[in-house]
């Protein structure tokens, strides 16, 4: 089973050309599946039964408490995996054919208010007693938060931005999104100022002469303390850390992206423009943000309705 898993991951990487984050999600889902199958004494693809897969799905819902969206992603992974094994002749029958997708509902995304966003963006500050010789990582963190909100970035996109993707003269950043789809998004003056300071005062300290010779930074914009491109997990930690310092509960990276879209629409931006800025291929994905902020709708009714 593990050999089949490795072959499938190589197929996704080499033949499908999926992004590392997508491949990682597939690998993680399959690892969870195989742990449960092993507990049932199933170690070979041909021994996998529809009942075993159905039991796995029930466990995700009843014991782990996964929501419908997460379960749907797991199911998609399982279906693609067993479809690939059938196509490559590793199994004669596809046990995943019996799995049905759970009903998916639209969950309104969590959104920060403009004042909460301001608190979060202003949270990174120089420590009262900075350590001599240590890079001012708070400048990097401030630049990351500013850019995520200004340009609607996903956490996975932050580490992919290269130095050549920052177009300072026109105030635009080039972003590589899902499916290797590129988009150009304005940065805004505050984000540009934060980036300029980070590039001038922090990033050079993260690249010593030794690291520069090794090219550990790989030309990426945001770097870790060790001079390597920052990872998605670290972006999560940065957002959670400064949100806690700002007194904001239950804040995660995607909330900045949700807030970016919601605040644009509340300010009168066209839905198609927001779709383009977010990199959504389907406008129905963007439409969920029209249900988040009702302030403009209420204002319109009060102003224009004869009995408002």
Tell me which H or E stretch contains 262: helix 253-266
Catalytic member of 83, 119, 178, 197: 178
Say whether 257 is catalytic: yes
Q: Which of 164, 147, 171 is nearest to 235 (CA)?
A: 147
Say whether 254 is catalytic: yes
Give the pLDDT of residue 102: 58
- For residue 295, pLDDT over 60 is answered with no
- For residue 242, pLDDT over 50 is answered with yes
Distance of CA 212 to the CA centre of its chain: 29
Catalytic member of 5, 142, 154, 183: 154
CA dist 122 and 216 (Å) reads: 30
Give the pLDDT of residue 170: 93
Domain boundaries, the chain: 2-98, 114-299
**In the chain, % of residues over pLDDT 90:** 46
Q: C-alpha distances in angstroms, 304 versus 194, 266, 296?
A: 41, 17, 12
Model pTM score: 0.66
CATH class of residue range 2-98: mainly alpha
pLDDT-derived band of residue 118, with 50, 70 and 90 as boundaries?
very high
Paired residues of 175 in beta bridges: 183
| 112 touches 130 (CB < 8 A) | no
71 Cβ partners below 8 Å, 6+ apart? 57, 60, 61, 102
Paired residues of 18 in beta bridges: none
Q: What's the token pair of residue 145?
A: 């938060």
Say whether 3 is catalytic: no
Q: Is 189 left (phi over 0), alpha (psi -120 to 50) or beta?
A: alpha
- For residue 294, pLDDT over 60 is answered with no
Q: Which of 251, 256, 259 is nearest to 293 (CA)?
A: 259
Give the pLDDT of residue 105: 47
Say whether 263 is catalytic: no
β pairing state of 172-176 and 182-186: antiparallel
Say whether 252 is catalytic: no
Catalytic member of 83, 193, 240, 254: 254
CA dist 46 and 85 (Å) reads: 10
- For residue 58, pLDDT over 90 is answered with no
CA atoms within 13 A of residue 107's CA, in its CB half-sphere:
9
Per-chain mean pLDDT for the chain: 86
pLDDT-derived band of residue 178, with 50, 70 and 90 as boundaries?
confident
- For residue 292, pLDDT over 70 is answered with no
Say whether 289 is catalytic: yes
Q: Which of 112-126, 155-169, 262-276 has the lowest mean pLDDT?
A: 262-276
Give the pLDDT of residue 139: 97
pLDDT-derived band of residue 60, with 50, 70 and 90 as boundaries?
confident
pLDDT-derived band of residue 152, with 50, 70 and 90 as boundaries?
very high
Q: In this predicted model, which residue has the larger pLDDT, 216 or 187? A: 187
pLDDT-derived band of residue 38, with 50, 70 and 90 as boundaries?
confident
Instruction: Tell me what the mean pLDDT of segment 171-187 comes to.
Output: 90
Which numeric CATH code is attached to 114-299? 1.10.443.10
Catalytic member of 5, 74, 216, 257: 257
How much is the CA Rg of the chain, to the nearest whole Å?
A: 23
């Amino acid at each position: 089973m593990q050999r089949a898993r490795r072959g499938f991951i190589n197929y996704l990487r080499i033949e499908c050309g999926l992004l590392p984050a997508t491949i990682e999600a597939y690998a993680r889902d399959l690892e969870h599946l195989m742990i449960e199958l092993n507990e049932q004494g199933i170690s070979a693809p041909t021994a996998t039964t529809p009942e075993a897969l159905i039991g796995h799905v029930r466990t995700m819902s009843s014991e782990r408490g996964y929501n419908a969206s997460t379960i749907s992603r797991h199911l998609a992974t399982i279906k693609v995996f067993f479809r690939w094994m059938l196509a490559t002749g590793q199994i004669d029958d596809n046990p995943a054919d019996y799995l049905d997708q759970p009903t998916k509902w639209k969950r309104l995304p969590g959104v920060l208010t403009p004042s909460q966003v301001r608190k979060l963006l202003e949270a990174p500050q120089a420590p009262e007693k900075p350590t001599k010789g240590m890079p001012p990582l708070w400048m990097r963190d401030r630049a990351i938060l500013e850019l995520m909100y200004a340009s609607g970035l996903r956490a996975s996109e932050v580490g992919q931005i290269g130095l050549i993707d920052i177009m300072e003269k026109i105030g635009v950043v080039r972003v590589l999104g899902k499916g290797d789809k590129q988009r150009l998004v304005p940065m805004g003056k505050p984000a540009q100022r934060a980036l300029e300071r980070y590039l001038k005062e922090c990033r050079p300290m993260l690249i010593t002469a030794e690291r520069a010779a090794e090219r550990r930074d790989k030309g990426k914009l945001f770097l870790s303390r060790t001079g390597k491109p920052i990872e998605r997990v670290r972006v999560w930690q940065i957002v959670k850390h400064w949100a806690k310092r700002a007194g904001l509960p239950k804040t995660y990276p995607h909330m900045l992206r949700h807030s970016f879209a919601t605040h644009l629409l509340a300010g009168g931006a066209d839905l198609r423009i927001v779709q383009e800025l977010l990199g959504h291929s389907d406008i129905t994905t963007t439409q969920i943000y029209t249900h988040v902020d009702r302030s403009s709708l209420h204002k319109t009714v009060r102003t224009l309705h004869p009995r408002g």
